Amino acid sequence: MLWGWERYSITPSPFPEWATLRIERGAKEKNHPLYKPYVNGIIAKEPTSLEEEIKEIRRSGSSKALDTPEFELSDIFYFCRKGIETIMDDEVTKRFSAEELESWNLLSRTNYNFQYISLRLTVLWGLGVLIRYCFLLPLRIALAFTGISLLVVGTTVVGYLPNGRWKEFLSKHVHLMCYRICVRALTAIITYHDQENRPQNGGICVANHTSPIDVIILASDGYYAMVGQIHGGLMGVIQRAVVKACPHVWFERSEVKDRHLVAKRLTEHVQDKSKLPILIFPEGTCINNTSVMMFKKGSFEIGATVYPVAIKYDPQFGDAFWNSSKYGMVTYLLRMMTSWAIVCSVWYLPPMTRQPEEDAVQFANRVKSAIARQGGLVDLLWDGGLKREKVKDTFKEEQQKLYSKTIVGNHEDRSRS
């Protein structure tokens, strides 16, 4: 049974809905305000262009048409409105915080709506704490320790074997066994779809990124070569062990910043069709599983076949999102291991190749759109690096050029005609 649990889906429990209804009824009885999360945003936006909106503003409040190649003071209203909309309904920042649930799942007493309602709900919450911390947590820690220990010992032993089919066979099954034990340490319930599209040797597997456990979610169903930076401590011990049995691609800290070196190493790997598919998360940071943000183009420049994978977590039983700005790794793992379960679906999409007329950015956007569409995620153009950095000056300059072209460009086109 250890090998097959991830094949089964889980039926949503009616208890969270019952608890939420009980909270809402109690709040109404005591005249307490109810908080309702805005899942789809608070501002209705129509997909219009800068040129169309400025035309509308000038048409309603100015005597000058857009044909006039001059700045008009009323144009400021467009940028003011966009700025206020962005502040009120920031579609970027809210992707880096945990998604607010419609229902209370008994994982926290800090839910916006939770107040003391009844003894029964409080007792149930306390019983849940005892089960999660006194029974599930010790069991999960034991499983995690077992899985990591077996991974280090097993890959080290396999690493001493001569290269060949026997070593590859043992390495594959050692990795699968250990990753599946680690998945059990999180009580992960995983449903894999379209497994005939699983990544093949000589290709690149790209997926949306929500959590560090994305790696073991995928690696418990397939055999991949990992790409990443060399670490110290326990992570360093694991990296040095697994690379002996499998051709992972590890980089020194100084090498990671050298984009050309990274591309060269990846190209050399995928050109060897006998080597494992490389697992990459092109977003470069964790997003809260409501959206897919900009894919870095580096993975799409090397000309390999890309195997897209969409991962969608169900936060009803436990939130897998890692808010690295708020929680350290140890705190995050503790929160994961004290949740009820980690439930997710994985879709393997058909392989995609770069078209002759596409550049790397266009190819990356096409793959990203396919993943977002399959996973039911919002497709955003923003760079996930905004989680820690400010908007780049080049992006601001692009908006300035667009406005300039909208005003001056139209006039020049008419002059030539």
pTM of the full predicted structure?
0.75
Residue linked to tokens 């420049």: 301
Question: Under a CB-based contact definition with an 8 Å cutoff, are residues 54 and 78 in contact?
Answer: yes
Q: What is the mean pLDDT of the chain?
A: 78
Q: What is the pLDDT of residue 206?
A: 95
Higher pLDDT, 95 or 338: 338
Q: Could you give the CA distance from residue 352 to residue 354 in angstroms, rounded to a whole number? A: 7
Question: Under a CB-based contact definition with an 8 Å cutoff, are residues 43 and 88 in contact?
Answer: yes
Q: What is the pLDDT of residue 117?
A: 60
Q: What is the pLDDT of residue 49?
A: 64
Q: Is residue 159 within a helix (H) or strand (E), and if so which, with residue range? A: helix 137-159
Instruction: Please compute the mean of the pLDDT values over residues 96-125 and round it to a whole number.
Output: 65
Read off the pLDDT of residues 50-87 as tens digits, 9 standing for 90 and up. 666 666 666 666 555 555 556 666 667 677 777 666 66
Question: Under a CB-based contact definition with an 8 Å cutoff, are residues 224 and 218 in contact?
Answer: yes
The domains of the chain are located at: 50-87+394-416, 119-134+186-381
Q: What is the pLDDT of residue 409?
A: 60
The pair of structure tokens assigned to 133 is 């911390």
With 90 as the cut, is the pLDDT of residue 180 above it?
Answer: yes
Q: Could you give the CA distance from residue 286 to residue 385 in angstroms, rounded to a whole number? A: 10
Nearest alpha-carbon partner for 349 in 324, 369, 334: 369
- Amino acid of residue 133: Y
Q: What is the pLDDT of residue 210?
A: 92
The pair of structure tokens assigned to 414 is 């008419």
Q: What is the pLDDT of residue 236?
A: 81
With 60 as the cut, is the pLDDT of residue 410 above it?
Answer: no
Lowest mean pLDDT: which of 46-50, 122-126, 243-247, 334-338? 46-50
Q: Could you give the CA distance from residue 307 to residue 367 in angstroms, rounded to a whole number? A: 9
Higher pLDDT, 96 or 314: 314
For residue 24, CA distances in Å to 19, 20, 36, 103 come to 9, 6, 11, 10
Nearby residues of 26 by Cβ (< 8 Å), 6 or more positions away: 115, 117, 118
Q: Could you give the CA distance from residue 414 to residue 67 in angstroms, rounded to a whole number? A: 9
Residue linked to tokens 């940071």: 285
Residue 38 binned pLDDT confidence (cut-offs 50, 70, 90): very low
Q: Could you give the CA distance from residue 364 to residue 354 in angstroms, rounded to a whole number? A: 9
Give residue 416's Cα distance to chain centre.
48
Read off the pLDDT of residues 156-176 as tens digits, 9 standing for 90 and up. 999 888 988 899 899 999 999
